[in-house]
Chains A and B, each alone.
Chain A
Amino acid sequence: MNIRKWFDDRLGINEISAFMTKKEIPQHKHTILYYTGSSILVFFFIQILTGILLAFYYKPTLELANESVAYIVNDVPLGWIIRSIHSWAATFMIALVFIHLLSIWITKAYRNPREMTWISGVLLLVISLAFGFTGYLLPWDELSLAATKVGTDIPRAIPIVGAWVTRLLRGGVDVTGETLTRLFTLHICVLPLFILMLLALHVYLIQKHGSSLPLDIEKKNISVKSIPFWPNFIYREAIIWLLLLGSLLTIAALFPHHLGSPADLMAPAPEGVKPEWYFLFLFQTLKIFPANILFIHGETIAVLLIGLMGVLFFCLPMIDNKPAEKKGKIITYAAYVFILYAVIMTVWSLL
């Protein structure tokens, strides 16, 4: 009785392995960008693993949150490195998500028929940022409390629904212990459900449509050399994963994340309040708007503008319906403008 055959008769595994041997990855000068996707997955799995381990000892209440994190860092064997890996892997993962997104944007990989892949990808970006935001509050120290107060205050600037969104996020009008429990539930239960569903869709669509060719190479109409995904490309990817994991481990071990003392809801905001680095450019954008433009709050206009940019971004494949022509080139330059803007704003916010 062949075990492999037993499973295959019931699960159809041979179909999957047959597909994997047929799947091919084109080789051209932008091939290196194909590695970004699976690298994100690697860091995501690390987050799941370290997150579960941390959740063994973390206590999500106002009284015990900071204390339990201090317990993990000081008393649990190797707790400090697990926590450090969890916080640094978040940075690595979001950095890779941005690189992945920019590479898709610039190579226009969202062209027909890959629009849904792009849409699911943008939603994945939003959820990844939401993970970062919700996770940031959990240690409940002064800096994270202040950052959460500011962050959950921003939706209030949206007309009509803003106040409701803020109340939904905060579990009340103000940031309290309820906010902590609520964001914890989002972080370990709701967001993982959404991201897993979207990931399934995203990965399925990639298998369905295959790897896209950059526009300039497709235009030349030459047949591009390909290597099989399994095992050739996977082994190459494994090298990249190993290097990334080594970097993560080294940085996490040498620069462990700081933990402040427990947050005091009544204390004034500490100096140097700022969100995580991936929000800094948005943070600075909000800061540069004046308090009032004509009769409208500056913040409302800023939030609406950012919202508009978000919607345009979401619909990018539909907007870029003529990628080979001038409109397409402008959209590619828009990517570079965005990079420049984000970098300048981030650096400015740190000064």
Chain B
Amino acid sequence: MKIKHSLFTRRRFLNSMIGGWITAMGAAFLAPIAKFVFLPNKEPDEILLPKSDYENMEPNTVKLFSWGAKPGLLKMNDDRSYTAFVAVCTHLDCNVSYLPDQRKFFCACHDGWYDENGINIAGPPPTPVRQLNVALDGEHFIITKNKGNE
């Protein structure tokens, strides 16, 4: 199909080609810089805790461990089983503490409360504290991510 007039001028075609090319080069240049600036996520997939460090825990107490850069709390429940939490408030990322006498997790920043299983019960937190899977393997506790609540 022949058209009487060309759809755009030579000038416009040339300028669009150049503009598109420069954009492509700019994107190719910015991508590695973005990679440099945004470091990959540093949360571990799995950590091993030596059992000896966590041996003499009482029921209804917690002990601190490092989950990457975040604090983790290993809690011994009343039935002597263990639960692990990422001890970070789901509201605005403050570190939470466990109050054994009240059987609640407490976030001091904005008065957020969670029950002994990490479920949010009062205050601004929108979701429960993140739980991690705990497995016992001879010498170690193996703490892994819970795929459900990543």
Chains A and B are bound partners: yes
Q: Which A residues form the contact surface with B (CB < 8 A)?
A: 53, 56, 76-79, 81-82
CA distance A76 to B37 in the complex (A): 9
Looking at B33, B35, B36, which has the most chain A CB atoms within 10 Å of its CB?
B36
User: Interface residues of B: mostly helix, strand, loop or mixed?
Assistant: helix
A-B pairs, 4 with minimum CB distance: A77-B35, A78-B32, A78-B36, A78-B35
B37 touches A56 (CB 8 A): yes
CA distance A82 to B36 in the complex (A): 9
B37 touches A53 (CB 8 A): yes
Q: Which residue of A lies closest to B25 (CB)?
A: A242
User: Interface residues of A: mostly helix, strand, loop or mixed?
Assistant: helix
Q: Which residue of B lies closest to A52 (CB)?
A: B37
Please name 6 pairs of A and B residues whose Cβ atoms are closer than 8 Å in the assembled complex, sorted by A. Answer: A53-B33, A76-B39, A77-B35, A78-B32, A78-B35, A82-B36
Residues of chain B from 20 to 40 with CB closer than 8 A to chain A in the complex: 32-33, 35-37, 39-40
Total number of residue pairs linking A and B with CB closer than 8 Å: 17
CA distance A76 to B36 in the complex (A): 7
List chain A residues, Cβ under 8 A from B36: 53, 76-79, 82
| Minimum C-beta distance from A86 to chain B (A) | 12
List chain A residues, Cβ under 8 A from B40: 77
List chain A residues, Cβ under 8 A from B32: 77-78, 81
Q: Which residue of B lies closest to A242 (CB)?
A: B25
List chain B residues, Cβ under 8 A from A78: 32, 35-36
Number of B residues whose C-beta is below 8 Å from A?
A: 7
| Minimum C-beta distance from B18 to chain A (A) | 10
CA distance A77 to B39 in the complex (A): 7
List chain A residues, Cβ under 8 A from B35: 77-78
Told that A53-B36, A53-B37, A81-B32 touch, could you supply 14 new A-B pairs with CB distance under 8 A? A53-B33, A56-B37, A76-B36, A76-B39, A77-B32, A77-B35, A77-B36, A77-B39, A77-B40, A78-B32, A78-B35, A78-B36, A79-B36, A82-B36
Q: Which residue of A lies closest to B36 (CB)?
A: A78
| Minimum C-beta distance from A242 to chain B (A) | 10
List chain B residues, Cβ under 8 A from A56: 37
Q: Which residue of B lies closest to A72 (CB)?
A: B36
Residues of chain B from 32 to 67 with CB closer than 8 A to chain A in the complex: 32-33, 35-37, 39-40
CA distance A82 to B37 in the complex (A): 11
CA distance A169 to B35 in the complex (A): 36
Looking at A53, A78, A82, which has the most chain B CB atoms within 10 Å of its CB?
A78
List chain A residues, Cβ under 8 A from B39: 76-77
CA distance A56 to B39 in the complex (A): 11
CA distance A76 to B32 in the complex (A): 11
CA distance A23 to B76 in the complex (A): 78
| Minimum C-beta distance from A58 to chain B (A) | 13
CA distance A244 to B92 in the complex (A): 47
Q: Which residue of B lies closest to A82 (CB)?
A: B36
CA distance A56 to B35 in the complex (A): 13
Q: Which residue of A lies closest to B33 (CB)?
A: A53
Looking at A56, A77, A79, A81, which has the most chain B CB atoms within 10 Å of its CB?
A77
CA distance A312 to B73 in the complex (A): 70
| Minimum C-beta distance from A52 to chain B (A) | 10
List chain B residues, Cβ under 8 A from A76: 36, 39
CA distance A81 to B29 in the complex (A): 13
CA distance A78 to B35 in the complex (A): 8
List chain A residues, Cβ under 8 A from B37: 53, 56
Q: Which residue of B lies closest to A245 (CB)?
A: B29
CA distance A53 to B35 in the complex (A): 11
Q: Which residue of A lies closest to B35 (CB)?
A: A77
List chain B residues, Cβ under 8 A from A53: 33, 36-37
Q: Which residue of B lies closest to A249 (CB)?
A: B29
| Minimum C-beta distance from A249 to chain B (A) | 10
